[in-house]
Amino acid sequence: MLRLAGARVLDERDLIDVRGVFDDDPVAACMVAARVEVAGLDPWRLGGEMWASDPRPLRGKVDGLCFSGPNLIPLRGSATAMRMFADRARRRGRMCSSLVGPAEQVLTLWDELQPDWGPAREVRADQPLMAISASPKITPDPLVRQVRPNEIGRYLPAAVSMFIEEVGIDPCAEDGGAGYRARVSELIAAGRAFARFEDGEVVFKAEIGAMSSKVGQIQGVWVRPDRRGEGIGTAGTAAVADRLTRVLNRTASLYVNGYNHVAQAAYRRIGFEQVGQYATVLF
């Protein structure tokens, strides 16, 4: 078993215990659970490593758990566990684009990593994690539907605009957009990209960015600037939440910046309630 600075890399023998962590808080764990349910814990198939903070073989309990891949996602653990994960992350070097997950773990881990990895491009310390398991309280927009593969040319500009607004960088800057287009194409092919089209143009969009066996996480909610304030975003998000809860039998979740009071109010009108707190560190 691989060990470094107290943290160890998990393998298939640890799968039952890892799933126990997911079951304790399926909404907070959705991003990681979605990967593990498909790929297991083999790093090559998982696209990253799952770390535990305990140096001994697991005995039905995981004290600290962290996923290291395209994002660094600490799911559980004390300050001591975060220190162990930080030690391992420092030795590997920064390989992620963000640090995201439950706020207590993320901010504690960032305190450890900041002297070596900082400064961050942005720290979003207050991101309410919200969820709904029942049907939306408002009528879903009947014009919001799944995006078809042959519509990517019309959908992609809206996705790029959303990314620039939300993240602050152009996803097409480094490779001409090939990587981002591939990711969006995957979501469309999986039936997890949704839009309302008017005159052939996207006026609302959203995606189910991660979907485990219990939870679907909505991301990339966007309304064309000239149509904002009309309730399109609220009804459109309700349509995606309705798809998750009624058709796919999942809890619908999302997280939102704490300063975005307008969005939070809209999500509450749909029926979302805060169930946790996320934080994100952007590099």
Q: Which 3-state string (H, E, C) describes the chain?
A: CCEECCEEECCHHHHHHHHHHHHHCCCCCHHHHHHHHHHCCCHHHHCCEEEECCCCCCCCCCCCEEEECCEEEEEECCHHHHHHHHHHHHHHCCCCCEEEEEHHHHHHHHHHHHHHHCCCCEEEEEEEEEEECCCCCCCCCCCCEECCHHHHHHHHHHHHHHHHHHHCCCCCCCCCCHHHHHHHHHHHHCCCEEEEEECCEEEEEEEEEEECCCEEEEEEEEECHHHCCCCHHHHHHHHHHHHHHHHCCCEEEEECCCCCHHHHHHHHHHCCEEEEEEEEEEC
**pLDDT tens profile 5-49:** 578 899 999 999 999 999 999 999 999 999 999 999 999 999 999
End residue of a domain, out of 62, 85, 119: 119
Shared-domain flag, residues 95 and 148: no
Average pLDDT along the chain: 94
Q: Which of 91-100, 127-136, 191-200 has the lowest mean pLDDT?
A: 91-100
CATH of the domain at 159: 3.40.630.30
Shared-domain flag, residues 220 and 260: yes
pLDDT of residue 155: 98
Specify the residue for token string 């995957």: 186
In a domain, 124, yes or no: no
**Residue 242, pLDDT above cutoff 60:** yes
Longest CA span, the chain: 60
Spatial separation of the C-alpha atoms in residues 219 and 215, rounded to whole Å: 13
Q: How many domains does the chain have?
A: 2
In a domain, 135, yes or no: no
In a domain, 81, yes or no: yes
In a domain, 134, yes or no: no
pLDDT of residue 56: 60
In a domain, 34, yes or no: yes
**Which residue did the predictor score with more confidence, 59 or 258?**
258
Structural domain boundaries, residue 28: 8-119
**Which residue did the predictor score with more confidence, 5 or 220?**
220
Give the pLDDT band of residue 57 (cuts 50, 70, 90).
Answer: low
pTM of the predicted model over 0.85:
yes
**Residue 1, pLDDT above cutoff 50:** no
Give the pLDDT band of residue 63 (cuts 50, 70, 90).
Answer: confident
Shared-domain flag, residues 159 and 239: yes
Give the pLDDT band of residue 60 (cuts 50, 70, 90).
Answer: low
In this prediction, residues 115-138 reach a mean pLDDT of 96
Report the Cα 141 to chain-centroid distance in Å.
Answer: 24
Shared-domain flag, residues 210 and 91: no
In a domain, 90, yes or no: yes
Percentage of the chain with pLDDT > 70?
A: 96
Shared-domain flag, residues 151 and 101: no
In this prediction, residues 181-200 reach a mean pLDDT of 97
Shared-domain flag, residues 67 and 158: no
Q: Which of 52-66, 112-126, 190-204, 231-245 has the lowest mean pLDDT?
A: 52-66
Residues sharing a CB contact under 8 Å with residue 103, sequence separation 6 or more, in sequence order:
125, 126, 127, 277, 278, 279
